[in-house]
Structure 1
Amino acid sequence: MPPSRQSASVGAVRRSFAPWSDSHAKPLIRVEDVTKRFGDALAVDSLSLNIFEGEFFCLLGPSGCGKTTLMRMIAGFEEPSEGRITLAGQNLAGVPPYRRPVNMMFQSYALFPHMSVEKNIAFGLKQDGLPKDEIASRVGEMLRLVQLERLAKRYPSQLSGGQRQRVALARALAKRPKVLLLDEPLGALDKKLREETQFELMDIQHELGMTFIVVTHDQEEAMTMADRIAVMDHGRIAQVATPGEIYEQPKTRFIAEFVGDVNILEGHVLGQEKGLWRVQSPAADAPLTIDDPDEVLHTGQAVAIAVRPEKMVIQRDPPEFDAQNVLTGEVWDIGYLGDWTVYRVKLASGAILRVTRANKSRFVQNPIDWDEQVYVTFAPDAAVILAE
């Protein structure tokens, strides 16, 4: 492996936090060979997973993949059909939800409409029989944490969606659980507020040092907030890794296509040359050259080449004679997104490529237009070979 690859990071690093890489670190939560059936339906299938203290962990996947069922088993609202779940070494089998050191924030927020903000936050503390002065202290602490001091006397009907979300979060945090479970916590917010709240949740989690587990089907949400992501598919975990690894080094075609935009080029392996894989694809006239040393392949094997749209370069002039990975086609569609322009390029094979280009200046001289003949290239290390 080249020295530059050894020292390089896969994606941006949000914080230097990686207990899963320490062989001596003990997970806070262990999910061991857990299966959950509802009659004949298999919701979770022999799933194993470790989650560490202080981690912002995300369960990501399409509807029906089992992510919410897994969260509900951790919370105690469902019991595993097989396997076990432990928290801080304690087997949670048979332990009711109110006896577990976890709290769950539901997608609907489930606020009491007849109670003010401060009374909603205090409700669980009163149920636990805490002294009045301690309840008042914790409620004040939570109001400051979620920046709702001025709205303490208001009722849920007098709040915006984002404010109600903060009340629900404060109520869940007030009991100081070891683990906070969040089920699609931002689903009811508009796009801009959702993006702002993602960073607020990250700041709160980091400040408290608490373990957060979030369920979502929103890839961008998971990529923004999580230290690690477990991508789920049909009750199983397809990959557990940091956001950078999930995006840049997907293990399967399902992951590559589910997380972000991707171009998939079909082909078969011709062999290796100077440490690089040579792949023949109907999308290109000449063999593709791919730098993916982690893959073990054999000649003639059918593979898929995954290339993210932003890693492709589009131009109207022919590339240099020795350029690698050259694809030719015609501009089929153009989408202007402000910060990016998206080009859909139809190749002679009929495949449609999605290529994005950053708009670094306000004005573009002689821009590429519809129906133009163009060349699309990508570097050997910009692609990932998927054997599955």
Structure 2
Amino acid sequence: MKSLGSIRRDFAPWNDPNAKPYIQFDKVTKKFGDFTAVNNLSLTIFEREFFALLGASGCGKSTLLRMLAGFEEPTAGRILLDGQDLRGIPPYRRPVNMMFQSYALFPHMTVENNIAFGLKQDGMPKPEIAARVGEMLKLVKLEQFAKRKPHQLSGGQRQRVALARSVAKRPKVLLLDEPLGALDKKLREETQFELMDLQQSLGLTFVVVTHDQEEAMTMADRIAIIDKGEVMQVATPAEVYEAPGSRFVAGFVGNVNMFEGKIAHGEAGAASIDAGNGITIRTENTGDAATGAAVAFAIRPEKIKISSTRPAGAVNAIEGEVYDIAYLGDMTVYHVRLDDGQVVRASTMNAARITEDPLSWNDRAWVSFRPDAGVVLTR
């Protein structure tokens, strides 16, 4: 069976009509005075899912997380966890824990005492606390740092202490608000995989808020794209990227080229799009777009080939001029200005050290792509 991108084939409860959602946002609205942060939003999350809320600053994603944690109450609607309505239940009585971007570690306490703090507050017996703390230290690979204080640790180590403290109480759901924002790029990439492995080993439900697309795409089983307090699309990372549901999602996640036009002729899922200025695009992914409909044809830069001559047999090929080049090591990004003024972005992997068909600034070039390389968007 063909699929869009890599998937966990043994875990996809959202495709099972009999699966019961673990977390439900049911027509939730949250207002702060005249400002609506969340607008009549409905969303379901399943047990053991690593779920990401992705959106720009101010879109309402952190407000959703705070309402689930109990720090805010919905103005309207319900939030259910394992079938229980959470309205009126204070944060400390909810089976969730929240890890903040600042980590909020106690500076005067050692690593092991930071991890043990919540367990002591709950009155857990000392032998059980010691065993649990030892288990958490081993889980986050910080056994040798147990006696250190936060200021004696690196940013990545402090992040792991905060994580260990968050899961020590065995919450049903762990909420992570921009958890990797304070880390440098390389450490952030390493920690993403550590979080994924930790979530798998613990079997907990993780809900992460982030504005970092790469972070969400790497870690999450599914992503909810949020804009102005509303859900724009919920899907797996590969589906969000390869089959965006709207112009907004296509433009928000990753880089994309967009050709506006009308369906000139369509049949059996294939169509010709009149994109104006003599450009006609043949596509095999028209969805339910009818002949004459105004649409956008969206195609990712890596799906476009660039060459100095028109490729033989190419169905879709458009000529232009190279006006910008960015060499990024693993890939080269070309900006090609078409004769009608539109700029097309094409990216090429640098699989070999030497380029057979080198292109430079101001060269005439052809961009080409397959009929199944892009998608037609009606919204």
Into which bin does the TM-score normalised by the smaller protein fall?
over 0.9
Counterpart in 2 of 1:291?
Answer: 284
Alpha carbons 2:51, 2:222 under 8 Å: kept: yes
Q: 1:383 aligns with which of 360, 371, 374?
A: 374
| Alpha-carbon spacing, 1:95–1:275, altered in 2? closer, same or farther (3 Å) | closer
2: CA distance, partners of 1:221 / 1:25: 27
Counterpart in 2 of 1:303?
Answer: 295
Counterpart in 1 of 2:192?
Answer: 198
Percent identity for Structure 1 against Structure 2 = 63
Q: 1:103 aligns with which of 85, 97, 101?
A: 97
Q: How does 1:166-181 map to 2 (within 5 A)?
A: 166-181=160-175
Cα offsets for 1:286-310 (capped at 9, x unmatched) = 42111115x2223322211100000
> Runs of 4+ in structure 1 displaced over 4 angstroms?
none
Alpha carbons 2:314, 2:369 under 8 Å: kept: no
Cα offsets for 1:155-209 (capped at 9, x unmatched) = 1001110000000000000000000000000000000000000000000000011
Cα offsets for 1:301-331 (capped at 9, x unmatched) = 22111000000010111222x4211111000
2: CA distance, partners of 1:78 / 1:286: 52
| Alpha-carbon spacing, 1:299–1:53, altered in 2? closer, same or farther (3 Å) | same
Counterpart in 1 of 2:351?
Answer: 360
Counterpart in 2 of 1:144?
Answer: 138
> Which amino acid in 2 is paired with 1:290?
T
Counterpart in 1 of 2:323?
Answer: 332
1: CA distance, partners of 2:106 / 2:117: 9
SS in 2 for 1:382: coil
Q: How does 1:60-209 map to 2 (within 5 A)?
A: 60-209=54-203
Shift of 1:10: 1.0
Alpha carbons 2:307, 2:357 under 8 Å: kept: no
SS in 2 for 1:23: coil
> Which amino acid in 2 is paired with 1:184?
E
> Which amino acid in 2 is paired with 1:133?
P
Alpha carbons 2:310, 2:317 under 8 Å: kept: no
SS in 1 for 2:372: helix
1:314 aligns with 2:303: no
2: CA distance, partners of 1:87 / 1:280: 49
Counterpart in 2 of 1:262?
Answer: 256
2: CA distance, partners of 1:19 / 1:301: 35
| Alpha-carbon spacing, 1:253–1:275, altered in 2? closer, same or farther (3 Å) | closer
2: CA distance, partners of 1:279 / 1:56: 38
1: CA distance, partners of 2:326 / 2:316: 24
1: CA distance, partners of 2:374 / 2:265: 16
Aligned length, in residue pairs: 379
Q: 2:229 aligns with which of 229, 235, 239?
A: 235
TM-score norm. by structure 1 comes to: 0.96
Cα offsets for 1:203-243 (capped at 9, x unmatched) = 00000110000000000000000000000011000000000
Shift of 1:345: 0.4
1: CA distance, partners of 2:275 / 2:10: 40
2: CA distance, partners of 1:298 / 1:228: 30
Counterpart in 1 of 2:363?
Answer: 372
1: CA distance, partners of 2:187 / 2:366: 39
Gap regions ≥5 residues in structure 1: 1-6
Shift of 1:54: 0.4
> Which amino acid in 2 is paired with 1:312?
I
1:341 aligns with 2:332: yes
Shift of 1:271: 1.8
Gap regions ≥5 residues in structure 2: none
TM-score norm. by structure 2 comes to: 0.98
Shift of 1:274: 5.9
SS in 2 for 1:172: helix
